[in-house]
Amino acid sequence: MTERSTPPGTEPAIRRWSHRDARPIGALWFDAYMREPDRGGGLIPNARSSLVDWIRDRERDRSNFGYVAESGDVLVGFLLGRIGVWDFEPPILRPRKLSRIDAVFVVESVRRLGVATALVETAVQHARAAGAAGVEAVFETDNPAAEALWRKRGFVAGVARAYRSLRP
Ligand SMILES: CC(C)(COP(=O)(O)OP(=O)(O)OC[C@H]1O[C@@H](n2cnc3c(N)ncnc32)[C@H](O)[C@@H]1OP(=O)(O)O)[C@@H](O)C(=O)NCCC(=O)NCCS
């Protein structure tokens, strides 16, 4: 586990991500993923390095954005989002420019200190400045921390996706 703690008295600072953040973001995300019960069909070979490569590719694509929380030079949280003009199905609604936040993560040692709140509010400002009509967040409904975070930030849950496993 690569989780690091914050030196006492230092408040995490939020900044826009850069390509150098792909590796530490990947490390935090992969470790968190490994602690989750397996919901899929297992990991691909080289999953850890593939995750870092994917984050790097995302960082190069200008429709994506990311912010990190740093304490000193230690990365203690991240948020990944994107902005795009989404088509709707069936295609009878006017396409709208929207932002989607795909992931927010804060290391355990600095949770409940407002770090995710600061990341989310920075992302919302980013989306507003980019002309998005709204921001969508994706989270698992059995995650009370995520549910409470989004609700508190003014996100109203509207669509649920349900899953039924066909494995014994
Ligand atoms: C969810 C997560 C990002 C919250 O980060 P955080 O920095 O602790 O969040 P904040 O301190 O900004 O909390 C904001 C509000 O969210 C709610 N909240 C956060 N963690 C909570 C928890 N464990 N239980 C209940 N509510 C919680 C609270 O309402 C909190 O406000 P309060 O502390 O004034 O009561 C963090 O727990 C995390 O990284 N979890 C693992 C990854 C994850 O689940 N990500 C979300 C899915 S995208």
pTM comes to 0.92
Amino acid identity, residue 124? V
> Taking the CB of residue 165, how many other CB atoms lie within 10 A of it?
6
Does 7 map to a domain? Answer: no
The answer to whether the CB of 129 falls within 8 A of the CB of 93 is no
Residue nearest to atom 43 of ligand 1 (CA): 105
Instruction: Work out the average pLDDT over 61-89.
Output: 95
* Residues 122-153 pLDDT 10s: 999 999 999 999 999 999 888 999 999 999 99
Does 166 map to a domain? Answer: no
* Residues 87-127 pLDDT 10s: 888 989 999 999 999 999 999 999 999 999 999 999 999 99
Residue nearest to atom 32 of ligand 1 (CA): 112
Quick one: the chain helix, strand, coil %, rounded to 5? 35, 25, 40
Q: What is the CATH number of the domain that holds 66?
A: 3.40.630.30
Does 160 map to a domain? Answer: no
Does 159 map to a domain? Answer: no
Does 136 map to a domain? Answer: yes
Pocket flag, ligand 1, residue 18 (CB < 6 Å)? no
Does 165 map to a domain? Answer: no
Pocket flag, ligand 1, residue 151 (CB < 6 Å)? no
Pocket flag, ligand 1, residue 145 (CB < 6 Å)? yes
Ligand 1 centroid to 105 CA: how many Å? 9
Please give the tally of structural domains in the chain: 1
Query: Residue 66, class by beta-carbon neighbours within 10 Å (0-12 exposed, 13-18 middle, 19+ buried)?
Result: buried
Phi, psi for residue 163 in degrees, rounded to 5: -135, 135
Domain range enclosing 63 = 13-152
81 vs 4 pLDDT, higher one: 81
Does a cis peptide bond (omega within 30 degrees of 0) precede residue 90? Answer: yes
Ligand 1 centroid to 44 CA: how many Å? 29
**Rounded to 5 degrees, what angle do the CA atoms 122, 66, 50 make?**
155
Does 121 map to a domain? Answer: yes
Separation of CA 133 from chain center: 19
96-106 vs 135-137, strand pairing mode: parallel
Does 71 map to a domain? Answer: yes
